[in-house]
Amino acid sequence: MEEKIRELEGLVEDLSSELASGMYQTIQILSNITTFTENFYEGSHSRFVSEKSAILAEELGLNEDMVTEIKIAGLLHDIGKIGYMDSSLYKYPSEMSSSEYKRYTMHPGLSVKILEPYSGFKGICEIISQHHEKLDGSGFPNHIQGNEIHPGARIILVVDTYHNALYKKQRDRTYNNSSSTPYTSTAAFLESTKDKYANTMNYLYKKRGILFDQKVVEAFIRMMELERTSFGRKSVMRVPVNQIVPGMIFAEDYFTKHGMLIAAKGETTKEEMIKALVRFAEAGEIPTRILVMK
């Protein structure tokens, strides 16, 4: 009997691993699809929102399951923009025509429609559906207020607002993969973003408790201040791809020959990325030496 129980436990464990692997692969595929809506950003918007939102959720003491849901929601929050015209994707809402803005406000709902058939995505869909809702009810699509808004959505709203303000390309830029300017030094990076950074942080701070969750804004500002301070102590250099280690920061965007963003400028290298980078370099998809901050 005990042997049979151990055998059943092993089967359950194997099945759980298979399900987890399948879920991970599904998320990766959906995330790759989402990157096709990001031609008008410096670096990867969804990966930035995902990474920073998850860190922020941990800082705020949310449990592990919630942090995971927020991380996935950050990766997939804009998947509903698939099929949107390029002419509207680069615009800020204030620049859109009434018809463009109406379509723009539909993207959280469209994201949910894409994701809701996947079992286990219920909590993720709730976060995504609310990630443009604001405390005073002026957000969209349902104009909910205050604590009615999911904590994960409140976090993503702040990070999303920040990244849009700093890294969305100006409408007079040429939008192609080669238009991304690499960081030549950490000082150049900090100087190039100084004014936008100050304006964005001032806006978030002024609107804390009005549009944005006060605790989220204050924790985010502390987090980004520490990050920018640490940038100032780093150097920019080219490193052989097989010598990249976790914790380095990409100083340039790297795309496949088909235009898929593999590594985003400003993104921190992680263990799971490094093997993939080596494979892409061996296949001639990216250079064998990568520009990083370390």
Annotate 67-106 with DSSP letters as a single string.
HHHHHHHHHHTTGGGTT--HHHHTS-GGGS-HHHHHHHTT
Q: Which two tokens stand for residue 11?
A: 């089967």
Cis, bond preceding 246 (omega within 30 deg of 0): no
Please check whether residue 266 is in contact with residue 43, taking contact to mean a CB–CB distance below 8 angstroms: yes
What is the rounded CA–CA span in Å between residue 7 and residue 210?
Answer: 56
pLDDT of 263 over the 70 cut: yes
Q: For the chain, what percent of residues have pLDDT higher than 70? A: 87
pLDDT of 77 over the 80 cut: yes
Please check whether residue 191 is in contact with residue 183, taking contact to mean a CB–CB distance below 8 angstroms: no
Average model confidence (pLDDT) for the chain?
A: 84
What is the rounded CA–CA span in Å between residue 281 and residue 294?
Answer: 20
- Coil vs helix vs strand at 168: strand
Give residue 8's pLDDT.
38
pLDDT of 179 over the 60 cut: no
Give residue 201's pLDDT.
96
pLDDT of 144 over the 80 cut: yes
Q: What is the pTM of this model?
A: 0.82
